[in-house]
Chains A and B, each alone.
Chain A
Amino acid sequence: MENLAALAAGFAVALTPSNMVLMLVGVLLGVVIGVLPGLGGANGIAILLPLTFSMEPVSAIIMLSCIYWGALFGGAITSILFNIPGEPWSVATTFDGYPMAQKGRAAEALVAAFTSSFFGAFVAIVMITAIAPLVARFALRFGPPEFFAVMFLSFAAFVGQGRGSAWKTIASMMAGFLFACVGLDTVTGALRLTFGSMELMRGFDFLVAVIGLFGISEILIAVEEGLQFEGARARIDPGVVFRVWKELPRHGAIALRSSVIGCWMGVTPAGATPASFMSYGMARKLSKDGAAFGTGRIEGVVAPEVANNAAGVSALLPMLALGVPGSPTAAVLLGGLIMWGLQPGPMLFVEQKDFVWGLIASMYLGNVAAFLVVLTLVPVFAAILRIPFAIIAPLILIACVIGAYTVNNAMFDVVLMLVFGLIGYVMKKLDYPLAPMVLALVLGNRTEQAFRQSLLLSEGSLWVFFHGWLSGLVMTAGLVLLAWPLIGRLTAILRARMA
């Protein structure tokens, strides 16, 4: 009750006209940051953070959190329209979002993505409001074995049941792991697979690889059938919003499950990326017609978007309560908090109640504001696809180049991106699945690190993963999910026998 009163006071502060203008500005800036290549949320907020130091702390945090929302919402846009994920956690959105756009349903995919993002974020905020201290304590249970178990679960949820050759899936995933290994080994500091090259020491950044594998290769595939993009005939009318909203409640179960996964991953803090892959994988595995995923199913957009926004929001909780940010963007916000004289950590909730509740109130409002803004912009985004090929194709290519360059400010990465583009093109033509490669590339390092830390702790015993109840539970869930297709087949056989 005390909390509710504090929250109400927070709302009162946030709802002044000047703060509402700041909200709008923040959301628009955030969307721009989310859409522009090479300006991830973390980077964008870092650049804009200083602007807010001259403001009142409450206004500043409102503006910053609105930028954060805008960037979270905006991340889905390029994934759906061009198959180019701007952040690691938008990758899973491309799997069904881009096929939808190709079929001329870009506007629907965008509305579904935004609505799901809103839903996921909202659930996470409610969770923070209601049970923050409890959840923070839960996060402390996560040591290396639990972390590895979570990574294992994301892989388990994702692999299997894919179409095409199993050997090709394995080859693709293993190549992804190898690409992730290139560079300095974080655990021992040894150089791996660099062969004396200074450029390779940097390692293959996820964004560089994905822009090539997904973005460039998709353009090459598209132009095979003539110099144009499909999906140019996208219908755009205001009714699309309501049509999608009418359809979405049918996927309520998926949305709920995904938001739980998202909150859990955001808090632990495994982050939004495993959350989006895991919930996409689960949605596909547990669906009756999982095989149709990847061809433009709306659930395939709902699941990852709900999860990654839920995770993005709940990632703020460990930052506030433990001082450990759950995402790069949260890390930048952490710097802002320190500047306003707030030391994030276990004492923040006790000593700075007003600020914390003001922040939570601004989360509610910012999320609503961001949702309304992006929804009204849907026609604008969808109309981008109508630009003639000879103009939009080079613009996308330029965007890819800028995106790859800005990751490390290295021209070598741009060349690498083109090479990955060719690799992606050949792999796609030969039916090698690309998703396992990207998954391995994104999560490979952290998975390996957690695995080795666990083995260090246990002095080499693999039982460490089943020692604690939490890691044991998650590992078991992963094993069950891995065996899920088998179980499905077995029950089918049993049923056939019974009948």
Chain B
Amino acid sequence: MSEVPRGLRARPVEIATALSFAALGGVAMFDSARIGFGWGFDGPQSGTFPYWVGALLMLASGAVLAGAVLRRTRAMFATNEQLASVARVFIPTTLSVAAMHLVGLYVASAGLLAWFMIRLGGYSWLAAIASAVATAVIIFVVFELWFFVSLPKGPLEDLLGY
């Protein structure tokens, strides 16, 4: 998403979205043509349904695209301020999910909670870390011990013997 000074206008996003949907439809039609979309020896072939659905999707997004191209509005998609707010929530979440591959869910979750409390809530470090650890422990007890649901773990849990 490119950012113009005061925010993101709706029109380019609208066009990009319609194009992506059309591409999705095209991809579906392409793949369905590969596996066949006629009448096979065991009924309608696997590709029949996605093929026509893909065609309809391309048609519908074509119509949306035409509308977006023809109608020149100056409506905003979101202001820079709004996008910044969204990013402040979404980016730490993404990072925390990425970290889960390495350190497991518990540490990553505790980190996410602590980050939110300190950076967005203005809590003290002590309070934030204490709540983060408490949350991780509660999740562990409820899921792993009570309901036997195994969640991703990392080196820390290995160290503790799980």
Contact = CB atoms under 8 A, between A and B. Distances in A.
- A–B contact via C-beta, under 8 angstroms: yes
Contact of B64 (A36, A168, A181, A388): A168
B40 A188 contact: yes
B151 to A, nearest CB: 7
B45 A188 contact: yes
Contacts of B28: 178, 181, 193
Contact of B147 (A47, A427, A429, A448): A47
Interface string A394-416: 11011001100110010100110
Contacts of A455: 43-44
Contacts of A39: 147, 149
A389 B67 contact: no
A148 to B, nearest CB: 12
Given A190-B35, A389-B120, A398 B139 contact: yes
A191 B40 CA distance: 15
A224 B78 contact: yes
Interface in B26-70: 27-28, 31-32, 35, 39-40, 42-47, 49-50, 53-54, 56-57, 59-61, 63-64, 67
Contacts of A452: 43-44, 49
B12 to A, nearest CB: 11
A175 B24 contact: yes
Given A425-B86, A455-B44, A181 B49 contact: yes
B103 interface: no
Given A168-B64, A398-B109, A411 B139 contact: no
B97 A227 contact: no
A391 interface: yes
Given A171-B57, A393-B89, A401-B97, A430 B120 contact: no
Given A181-B49, A398-B139, A411 B21 contact: no
Interface in B105-142: 105, 109, 112-113, 115-117, 120-123, 131, 135, 139, 142
A47 B147 CA distance: 7
A411 B117 contact: no
Contacts of B115: 394
B82 A224 contact: yes
Contacts of A168: 60, 64
A167 B150 contact: no
A401 B109 contact: yes
Interface residues of A, number: 66
A425 B86 CA distance: 10
Given A170-B60, A391-B131, A178 B54 contact: yes
Among B27, B53, B59, B82, max chain A CB count under 10 A is at B53
A426 B1 CA distance: 11
Interface size class for chain B? 35 or more
B31 A195 contact: yes
B109 to A, nearest CB: 5
Main DSSP-derived SS at the B contact region? helix
A432 B32 CA distance: 26
A171 to B, nearest CB: 4
Interface string A174-188: 110110010001011
Contact of B77 (A187, A188, A421, A429): A429
B109 A430 contact: no
Contact of A426 (B13, B50, B94): B13
Contact of B50 (A44, A47, A178): A178
A170 B18 CA distance: 12
A55 interface: no
B95 to A, nearest CB: 11
A390 interface: yes
A480 to B, nearest CB: 23
A405 B151 contact: yes
B85 interface: yes
Given A167-B61, A393-B116, A397-B96, 20 more contacts: A39-B147, A170-B57, A174-B56, A177-B50, A178-B25, A178-B50, A181-B50, A188-B43, A188-B45, A190-B46, A220-B86, A220-B89, A224-B82, A390-B120, A391-B113, A398-B109, A402-B139, A418-B94, A448-B49, A452-B49
11 contacts: A39-B149, A167-B63, A171-B21, A171-B61, A181-B49, A188-B42, A224-B82, A390-B122, A401-B100, A405-B152, A430-B13
Interface of A: 33, 36, 38-39, 43-44, 47, 165, 167-168, 170-171, 174-175, 177-178, 181, 185, 187-188, 190-193, 195, 216, 219-220, 223-227, 388-391, 393-395, 397-398, 401-402, 405-406, 409, 411, 414-415, 418, 421-422, 425-427, 429-430, 432, 448, 451-453, 455-456, 460
